[in-house]
Amino acid sequence: MSRLWPWLCAASVALSLLMLAALLTLLLTRGLGHFWPATLESVTLDSGEVIAGEAVREIPLPHRDGEERLYFTANRDLDSHRWRWVEINHIDERSTPHALVRLERSPWGDFIGYLTAVESAGSHLEGEAAWQALKTALTRPPPERPNATLILKSAGGETLRQPLNEIHRAYRPNAMAWWEKIRFWSSGVWQFLSEGPRAANTGGGVWPAIFGTVLMVMVMSLIVMPFGVLAAIYLNEIAHQGRLTRLVRIGVRNLAGVPSIVYGVFGLGVFVYGLGSSLDEWFFSDSLPSPTFGTGGLLWASLTLALLTLPVVIVATEEGLARIPDAQREGAVALGATRLEMLTRVVLPMAAPAMLTAVILAIARAAGEVAPLMLVGVAKLAPQMPVDGEFPYLHVERKFMHLGYHLFDTAFHGEDIQAAIPLVYAIALLLVFIVLVLNLTAILLRHHLRHQRGQSC
């Protein structure tokens, strides 16, 4: 039996790593694959109808033999539908014409069909000349583009006039070489990281959400670390180790298990409606009844998450302090150091890796929290960033976007859930990557401090 336990432990570790690898593989393939220019098909049905779109998946037909295929056909302004289920045995012909064009536009979403002509300032271009003119126009910034109109035709033969200034990107995936597809994929990833959302969060990028997430985590860390470290120092180094101190420790550990939404309700009642309303009455009475601090914002969200992660910081820091041998304290006092000097010059430097461990745990929990943020400051779309060029530069009273809430909103509140699924994987992958980068930064700093301490010893 004693030989079985190591094998069980190793199997548990292997299973955990396998599940983690499977999760990351799913996010990588589905998330990064969202930006690859998928092949477009022209499909002729046995009824004579012709449709064009991207084949998404196939499922068996219910209660009978055969399968049906889901196509993304776009063109919501023509037939009010963007998806089409087609029975495979009803397909007469499939082809991938090089002339099929996919346009990313607003407000109607994507268009899939053919570019017939481009009309601009009395000129009328058709065929390949029209396509080259469109590509050239899209390389310019939107204010510098010509006032042109595209003449489009769907696979079914319907004609549509499309203003050029409503188009974000245009491409013909079937005519692309592999290096062109890689360049297009790279451009799509960059736009996803650097632009703001559009089309009810089902298109565009997530840069405001990235910025808001990182900024909130940084402000939260600056708030929670001093209070958490000072509380841990008091409980471990200063307070009398009696029944009351033990009860406080039990209370702190129990607070770590309180549901996050409870902290959100507390932040809404105390910070937003309590402190925020008071600040508005004292300093911003001229702007009432429009609140300045009496509504959710970056400051109240950071304070709420600081309270949420405070027990984690206290526990991790106190455990680090408890591992420091008493001989280190006694030696410093014996050499003539005061109690304050002993704490600041001996104990705290030795406990610095434990403090950074507390930061890592706090970041890992705070970066992915969504429930409390929905009550104290996160927004579906924040038109103004919390940081800009106007004094005081950091506007903590403003609402902000957050990747976790953006993921939730895209997955469940979008107009087209099916179209949002690939974007959900991409946002989830990005959120995991940001948490990983923040944690690795703290881990490397902790390793550096340990290495320095080892050299000094």
Mean pLDDT, residues 297-309 taken together? 92
Count CA atoms closer than 13 A to 248's CA, side-chain side.
15
**Residue 197 covered by a domain:** no
Question: Please, which pLDDT band fits residue 153 given cuts at 50, 70 and 90?
Answer: very high
Q: Is the pLDDT of residue 226 over 60?
A: yes
Q: Which long-range contacts (C-beta less than 8 Å, at least 24 apart) are formed by 186-189?
A: 188/35, 189/32, 189/35
- Same-domain pairing of 313 and 347: yes
> What pLDDT is recorded for position 325?
87
| Contact call for residues 432 and 28 (beta carbons, < 8 A) | no
State the sign of the Cα–Cα–Cα–Cα dihedral 316, 317, 318, 324.
positive
pLDDT digits (tens, 9 = 90+) for 180-189: 999 999 999 9
8-state DSSP, 325 = -
Helix (H, G, I), strand (E, B) or coil at 54: strand
- Given 144, 161, 188, the domain boundary residue is 188
Q: What CATH number does the domain containing 215 carry?
A: 1.10.3720.10
Neighbours of 18 (CB within 10 A): 10
Q: How far apart are CA 397 and CA 295, in angstroms?
A: 8
The answer to whether residue 8 is domain-embedded is no
- Per-residue model confidence (pLDDT) at position 255: 87
Residue 308 forms part of a structural domain? yes
**Total domains in the fold of the chain:** 2
Structure tokens at 30: 């589905």
Do 44 and 176 share a domain, yes or no? yes
Predicted confidence (pLDDT) per residue in 199-209, tens digit? 666 677 889 99
Please state the rounded mean pLDDT for residues 141-169.
90
Q: Answer with the residue of higher pLDDT: 68 or 382.
A: 68
The reported pLDDT for the residue numbered 189 is 92
Q: Which two tokens stand for residue 411?
A: 């997955």
Cα 49 to Cα 156: distance, rounded to the nearest angstrom: 7
| Residue ending a domain, choose from 188, 223, 240 | 188
Tell me the whole-structure pTM to 2 decimals.
0.86
Distance set, CA 154 to CA 51, 79, 101, 361 (Å): 8, 11, 10, 53
Question: Residue 22 falls within a domain, yes or no?
Answer: no
Looking at the structure, tell me whether residues 274 and 358 fall in a common domain: yes
What residues contact 291, with CB distance under 8 A and at least 6 apart? 276, 277, 280, 284
Say whether pLDDT at 288 is over 90.
no
Residue 86 bridge partners (DSSP)? 69
DSSP string, 66-100: -EEEEEE---HHHHS-SEEEEEGGGEEEEE--TTE
Listed in sequence order, the DSSP H helices in 234-347 are 243-255, 260-266, 277-283, 298-322, 326-334, 339-342
In eight-state DSSP terms, residue 344 is I
In a domain, 351, yes or no: yes
What average pLDDT score do residues 276-304 get?
Answer: 86
pLDDT (average), residues 218-236: 91
For 177, the domain range is: 35-188
207-233 and 417-456 helices cross at what angle (nearest 10)? 40
Q: What is the mean pLDDT of the chain?
A: 87
The DSSP element (H or E) to which 436 belongs, if any, is helix 417-456
Residues 414 and 306 reside in one and the same domain: yes
Q: Are 310 and 229 in contact (CB under 8 A)?
A: no
How many CA atoms within 13 Å lie on the side-chain side of 13?
A: 6
Give me the pLDDT at residue 346, please.
Answer: 87
Query: Is residue 176 domain-shared with residue 235, that is, in the same domain?
Result: no
Together in a domain, 256 and 113: no
Please check whether residues 297 and 395 belong to one and the same domain. yes
**What is the average per-residue pLDDT within 299-326?**
90
Q: What is the pLDDT of residue 353?
A: 82
In a domain, 3, yes or no: no
pLDDT tens sequence across 25-63: 999 999 898 899 999 999 999 999 999 999 999 999 887
Residue 234 shares a structural domain with residue 148: no
Cα dihedral 339, 344, 347, 348 sign: positive
> Could you tell me what percentage of the chain is helix, strand and coil, using 3-state DSSP and rounding each to the nearest 5?
60, 15, 25
For the segment 237-285, what is each residue's pLDDT rounded down to a tens digit?
Answer: 888 888 898 999 999 988 888 888 999 999 999 999 999 888 888 888 8
pLDDT at 381: 80
Residues 228 and 299 reside in one and the same domain? yes
Is the domain of 235 the same as that of 350?
A: yes
Please check whether residue 308 is in contact with residue 372, taking contact to mean a CB–CB distance below 8 angstroms: yes
* Joined tokens for residue 417: 């859930």
pLDDT at 454 over 70: no
Where is the domain boundary, 188, 218, 236?
188
Of the candidates 226, 385, 386, the one whose C-alpha atom is nearest the C-alpha of residue 306 is: 226
- Residue 369 identity: E
Long-range CB contact pairs, 326-335, < 8 A, 24+? none
Helix axis angle, 403-412 relative to 207-233, nearest 10°? 130
- Across residues 376-399, what is the average pLDDT? 83
Cα–Cα distance for residue pair 112/52, rounded to 1 Å: 7
Question: What is the radius of gyration, based on Cα positions, of the chain?
Answer: 29
At 457, is the pLDDT very low, low, confident or very high (cuts 50, 70, 90)?
Answer: low
Q: Tell me the average pLDDT across 289-317.
A: 89
Judge whether 13 lies within some domain. no
**Same domain (yes/no): 136, 281:** no
- Contact present, 213 and 339 (Cβ < 8 Å): no
Confidence band, pLDDT 50/70/90 cuts, at residue 455: low
Tell me: pLDDT of 8 over 60.
yes
Tokens of 147: 């006032």
Summarised one tens digit per residue, pLDDT across range 103-133 is 998 888 899 999 999 998 878 899 899 999 9
Q: Does one domain contain both 242 and 304?
A: yes
Distance, first Cα to last Cα, the chain: 43
Residue 122: predicted pLDDT: 78
Percent of the chain clearing pLDDT 70 (strictly above): 97
Residue 199 within a domain: no
Instruction: Convert the pLDDT of each residue in 323-348 to its tens digit.
Output: 888 888 888 888 888 888 888 888 88
CB 118 within 8 A of CB 148: yes
